[in-house]
Structure 1
Amino acid sequence: MNFLSYQSVPAILKDNSRKYAKRTAISYNKRGVFLSLTYEEFYERVLMLARGLKQAGVQRGDRVAIFSENRLGWAISDFGVQSAGAITVPIYATNTGKQAAYVINHCEAKVVFVSTQTQYEKLYAIRDQIPNVELVISYERFMGERSFPVYTQYQLSEVERPLTETETAMIEKQIDEIRQEDIITIIYTSGTTGVPKGVLLTQRNIMVNTTHGLKRVGSSTLPQTFLSFLPLSHVLERTGGYYMPLLTGNHIAFAENVQKVMENMMEIKPTNMVSVPRLFEKIYSRIYENVHQASSFKRNLFHRAVEVGREYVQKKYVTKEPLGLLELRYKFFDKLVFKKVRERFGGKIKYFVCGGAPLDKTINEFMWIIGLPVFNGYGLTETSPAITLSSFDIIRFDSVGKPLHETEVKLADDGELYVKGPQVMQQYYKNEEATRETIEDGWLKTGDIARIDEQGYVYIIDRKKELIVTAGGKNIAPQPLENELKLDKFISDAYVYGDGKPYLVALLTPNLERLIDLGRELGIHYIDIEELVTNEKVMAVYTRRMEAFNAALPPYKTIKRFAVLPREFTIDGGELTPTLKLKRKEIYNKYKDIIEELYIKAGNGVVRRPKADNERLETSVSASKMH
């Protein structure tokens, strides 16, 4: 399907509202029950909101902010804003009021949509800092402050008043006037390495990326259901998990929240999903947790099935060799083992698309083995987002695939990946200096270190700014080490540090279920998790596992010291971005005392197994330091 025959995303929705009038467009959860709108109904709500926005004075080119988590109101707002000729500016729902104020002021938004009273109160607390905001619109009804009034989207849309033919014609004329070169959105970068930058993306940027992305993964004539849980404020979900299904006439269902994704998969039974590696890490961990608790017969059966599956996917998808009897063996284990595993995730998944951060090779291969293929991709907010993508025909489990159609890539002398193509942004909003630094002779500098093999597969090594340069001058990419550490059954997350230091250290967060089981097996009596993670018997287990991890690495890459934290990294805790990537600077600042103490107390700095029962491990600081 080529979306470039249209001039805009709203124009495609307009067409789809007639072609797929009675087909389900969007499902959303309301008080524990999933409700839905057809394409016809959704488009009508979009037009009603566009009518309300025009009556409220929104003009062509105005910026309108959306401060909300994923929900029906977000989608209506986005298409309504565009249909009114304006520009959508998303703000992460997890942002503070101060962070939201920066975006609102920088893009000069006079209208802001909020999802709930909680988001409204964030704005109310900083209302003096956003003097240009004239209208706040909420998706839910509540009483606002008289000095800072709020109206509902339902009120603004005048949903009870049907659209007249004249109103419909007026709004559709506005839709028809949108051109491919018009700005569809301004998406602000996370700002973890500096002040957030507003990325200007055009209608064409988005339509090119969806067209070429769909061409790569293959279109389907059968209706598909996408489950959306990544924030729509992030371009990966916006393009791949939101515009993609709606532009193709398919069904998008909004998950209740990140914590209920697994549960919602069982309810919605999606065929496709866009995700970041964290979901697959959780799936991998959950499956092996269940295997760990199974009988020895079932454990052995599962491991045998995985062995056969590994050989099968390697020959079928990577080397493309004849399968012979291997295909029958795989089908046997698939029916006996893997099909039951897939049913726990809805049973209908055709493929996942993964981006946002590197996916570990072992986990990626495992997903293919159990029949849940993951198309690993790579991109940036500045590239709408996809630059490269895997598929059934283009797969290397440690690669992010090959460049999309019309996309060129090359490596700079230091290994940084440069990209040129129709999905690349116009510029940063009101930031000519940053634009000049990022785009040179038409090539966008990604900021990522990569390699490209002879067949054109791209491999991302790490962020250029995140490479660790040790005191000995060694350049080390932390993400591959962290991804490998997370494969350990006792580790949920990992952060590796060592910039300017003589060796590497790590902060580990425990897999709490496995940790508690371990405490029970070792007969440990403890008051809380803080006491458990610092217990000598527990630390001896982690030390042995770290020794095994280090054994396969060159000396300069080994983790000499580590601490186990009593809690996982979270968005609310400030350690993770809304797309579940590590916020490295924030983690260092938050746990600086622990990290520096790993160097101060290190002695010769070697992780080692204790030689005697009375010898205290120097691998972790005391729990009292872990606040």
Structure 2
Amino acid sequence: MNTVSVAENGFDIADTEGLHSVVAGAALRHPERLALGGADGTRLTSAELDRRVRALASALLSRGVAPGDRVAILGRTTVEWALLDFAALAIGAVVVTVYPTSSQAQIEHILSDSGSAHFAAESDTDAERLRAAGADRVWLFAEVGEWSTGPEAPGLDRVLGAVRAADPAMIVYTSGTTGVAKGCVITHRNMFVSASNTVRRTGTLFEGGTTVLALPLAHVFGQTMLFACVFGGSGTHLLPAIPELVPALPVLRPTFLPMIPYGLEKIRKFCRTLLAAGEEDAAVERGLELLREGEIPAPTEHAVYAALGGRLRAVISGGASLDESTQGFYAGFGVQLLNCYGLTEAATAVTVNAPESNRFGTVGRPIPATEVGIAPDGEVLVRGPHVSPGYWGAAAGLPMADAEGWLRTGDLGELDADGYLTITGRRKEILVTSGGKNVAPTPLEDRVRLHPLVSNCMVVGDGRDFVTALVTLDPDQLARRRAADPALDPDAEIESAVAEANSLVSRAESIRAFRIVDGDFTVEEGLLTSSRKLRRAAIEKAYAADIAALYASRTVAR
């Protein structure tokens, strides 16, 4: 096995500490620095944040929340979500995260499996969904916000001091590309190690920086970035969702962003409206040249850079694969994309690139205190103090790590001589054609999805003679394009997108036929996970007739 053992020591917390040490530590180090801002204009300094968290922790204790109780939270990313998160963890309660896009069946599973006893929701609609899943009394975020301005309970420090690093902090239900979602236990130490060592690996990125966090706090990536920002001393503006990010960037002017490829693609598509013919291709070419030469992109005086806020230097990109042309696009306008890699079972942080040592095509080096290995079959293995101790509820009997402490990730990868990791595929997602050709579908899907008309794409071909693709269209983009050009031919447009994707691979791996299908792949329909990964088996079942027709007709992409 090819293993990298990280030489430098990582940040850790004492066995007698919990995650409240992150909030309290920030209040001591820089009390007057902006810690959290909200879409409603709320601005909390580090000292104010700690006072609010202590007050809310007191309110939770007075309402019967005890250490070890599970507190289920359903809502978009807001200051109230963060406050409730920090306060529940401070008193030793366990936060159970619920995506706003979860189906009713998923919510019922999470509440039942976790054994949640307390519930909070952003809106009346969200509260009703929790009640329909078995919750009784549901607190609204508006109530929670009011409690955070109340008095502090006598003896609070005794409760806070009883929380231990090994105690469960969160139960995060995995995306579930196959089967029922499993509840993954994240301890206080797991989260602290991931967040603090992400800050350490990325150098000066967080210290004194300004960022906008629009990632869902129901996802472990959003949680890790939230704690990393507070630990690292960043001024963090919280936005409910990624679609609200584009108009906010010129106002909030971040210096860095945590983001997922879906969001970067959405921003890129908006930026196209600011470009003249040929400018996008030129920017991609210019950016890729810089990245391949290992140079740090310099800011540009361009409308695109202004639309990004005029100060953005780097984006930590994780959660899924990212098309290299998107990396080139941002670099062409002066913004580095720092690819990272992780998974829920390791509190999301395993490797990350740093601004001064960003290596194009990789997902960076292991964060401090982390070991990464490559098994004989190419699977990426992870070991370290951020690896979860196990699953919860119905999945509690499933193994998390082997006898030597190695977590099997299910991803395939390679390590170079300097310890940089490259992800080459996912074991369960590699397609094998009837001719025996292994095909990695995600690079093809990523490239097709960049076309302005495309909403989503899934490559098909496992056990079949050749590779094909199902494509869904963005109805708003289609309407605009048809208004400008009534003769628009969607098939011809998608054929060009498929041809561009095919330029990335060999003939045997290329998409030989495609079909534009009705509807879209959505979380609500159970076709995407909450982190927007394709649920391939569910899509194949839902579109079985389209796939059959596709192979029967062979609408071939030339």
Instruction: Specify if TM > 0.5.
Output: yes
- Match among 299, 318, 334 for residue 371 of structure 1: 334
**Structure-2 residue corresponding to 1:111:** 118
Q: Which residue of 1 aligns with 2:322?
A: 359
Within 5 Å, give how 1:114-193 maps onto structure 2.
Answer: 114-127=121-134, 133=135, 135-140=137-142, 152-153=143-144, 157=147, 159=149, 161-163=150-152, 167-168=153-154, 170-193=155-178
Counterpart for residue 428 of structure 1: 391
**C-alpha distance 464-514 of structure 1, shift in aligned 2 (>3 A):** same
How far did 1:158 drift? 7.8
Match of 2:6 in 1: none
Local SS of the residue matching 1:436: coil
Q: Report the counterpart of residue 314 of structure 1 in structure 2.
A: 292
Aligned to 2:5: none
Moved more, 53-62 or 15-24: 15-24
Alignment of 1:305-344 (within 5 A): 307-317=285-295, 335-337=300-302, 340-344=303-307
Match of 1:502 in 2: 465
- Give the superposition deviation at 1:13: 1.3
Deviation at 1:276, TM superposition (A): 0.8
CA distance in 2, matches of 1:111, 1:410: 40
Q: Which has the higher contact order (CA 8 A, sep 6+)?
A: 2
With over 3 angstroms needed to count, the CA separation of the structure-2 counterparts of 1:516 and 1:138, relative to structure 1, is: closer
Deviations for 1:318-375, whole angstroms, at most 9, x for unmatched residues?
9xxxxxxxxxxx87xx5454xx321101112231111111111221133223211111
Task: Classify 1:416/1:177 alpha carbon distance in 2 versus 1 (closer, same or farther; 3 Å).
Answer: same
Change (3 A) 1:413 1:5: closer
Choose from 263, 267, 272 the match for 2:256: 272
Query: Partners in 2 of 1:596 and 1:427 — Cα distance?
Result: 41
2:512 corresponds to 1:560: yes
Alignment CA distance shift 1:592-1:305 (3 Å): closer
Gaps of 5+ in 2: 1-8
The code of the aligned residue for 1:41 comes to E
Q: In the TM superposition, what is the alpha-carbon distance from 1:287 to its structure 2 partner? A: 3.1
- Residue in structure 1 matching 2:64, options 54, 57, 61: 57
Where do residues 210-249 of structure 1 align in structure 2 (5 Å cutoff)?
210-219=195-204, 223-240=208-225, 242-249=226-233
Q: CA 1:546–1:13 in structure 2 vs 1: closer, same or farther (change >3 Å)?
A: closer
Q: Does residue 203 of structure 1 match 2:188?
A: yes
Q: How does 1:256-267 map to 2 (within 5 A)?
A: 256-267=240-251
CA separation of 1:406 and 1:24: change in aligned 2, threshold 3 A: closer
Structure with the greater alpha carbon radius of gyration: 1
Check conservation: 1:482, 1:495, Cα contact below 8 A: yes
Secondary structure at the counterpart of residue 439 of structure 1: coil
Which secondary structure does the structure 2 equivalent of 1:4 belong to?
coil
Matches within 5 A, 1:511-522: 515=478, 519=482
C-alpha distance in structure 2 between counterparts of 1:221 and 1:455, whole Å: 24
Residue number in structure 1 paired with 2:21: 11
Does the 8 Å CA contact 2:514/2:556 hold for their aligned counterparts? no
Matches of 1:249 and 1:176 in 2, distance apart?
A: 23
CA distance 1:599–1:223, change in 2 (3 Å): same
Verify: 1:66 aligned to 2:73, yes or no: yes
Distance, in Å, in 2 between the alignment partners of 1:545 and 1:52 is 55
Q: Is the 8 A contact 2:444 2:502 kept in 1?
A: no
- What letter corresponds to residue 59 of structure 1 in structure 2? A
Q: 1:105 & 1:62 partners in 2: Cα distance?
A: 14
- Would the alpha carbon gap of residues 513 and 289 (structure 1) be closer, same or farther in structure 2, given more than 3 Å must change? farther
Aligned pair partner of 2:35 in 25, 49, 52 = 25
For the aligned residue pairs, the C-alpha RMSD in angstroms reads: 2.9
Q: Distance in 1 between matches of 2:368 and 2:61?
A: 38
Q: Is the 8 A contact 2:13 2:165 kept in 1?
A: no
Structure 2: distance between partners of 1:75 and 1:249: 16
- Pair 413,126 (structure 1): closer, same or farther in 2 beyond 3 Å: same
Which segment drifts farther, 571-580 or 254-263? 571-580
- Residue 290 (structure 1) aligned with residue 274 (structure 2): yes
**Which stretch of the first structure deviates more once superposed, 395-404 or 72-81?**
395-404
Change (3 A) 1:177 1:551: closer
Q: In structure 2, give the amino acid aligned to 1:189.
A: T
8 A contact 1:64–1:86 mirrored in 2: yes
Mapped partners of 2:130, 2:282: distance in 1:
56
CA distance in 2, matches of 1:171, 1:474: 62
2:547 is aligned to: 595
Give yes or no for contact 1:228–1:254 (8 Å, CA) kept in 2: yes
Q: Is the 8 A contact 1:66 1:89 kept in 2?
A: yes
Partner SS for 1:51: helix
Quick one: which amino acid aligns to residue 156 of structure 2?
I
- Overall identity of the aligned pairs, in %: 30
Asked whether the equivalents of residues 97 and 171 of structure 2 are also in contact (C-alpha less than 8 Å), the reply is yes
Matches of 2:320 and 2:132, distance apart in 1 = 34
Superposed displacement of residue 10, structure 1 = 0.4
Q: 1:385 to 1:558 in 2, by over 3 A?
A: same
Inter-partner Cα distance in structure 2 for 1:183 and 1:545: 46
8 A contact 1:212–1:405 mirrored in 2 = yes
Select the residue among 548, 561, 581 that pairs with 2:533: 581
Shift of 1:544: 5.2
Task: Tell me how far apart the structure 2 counterparts of residues 15 and 396 of structure 1 sit (CA, whole Å).
Answer: 33
Are residues 110 and 601 of structure 1, via their aligned partners in 2, closer, same or farther at CA, if it must alter by over 3 Å? same
Q: For residues 200 and 221 of structure 1, what CA distance do their matches in structure 2 show?
A: 27
Matched residue type, 1:24:
L
Aligned equivalent of 1:386 = 349
> SS in structure 1 opposite 2:126?
helix
TM-score, scaled relative to structure 1: 0.80
For the residue of structure 2 that corresponds to 1:461, the secondary structure is strand
Q: How many residues align?
A: 548
Higher percent of residues as helix: 1
How do 1:78-97 residues align onto structure 2 when only pairs under 5 Å count? 78-97=85-104
Distance (Å, rounded) in 2 between the aligned partners of 1:580 and 1:432: 23
The alignment partner of 1:425 has SS state of: coil
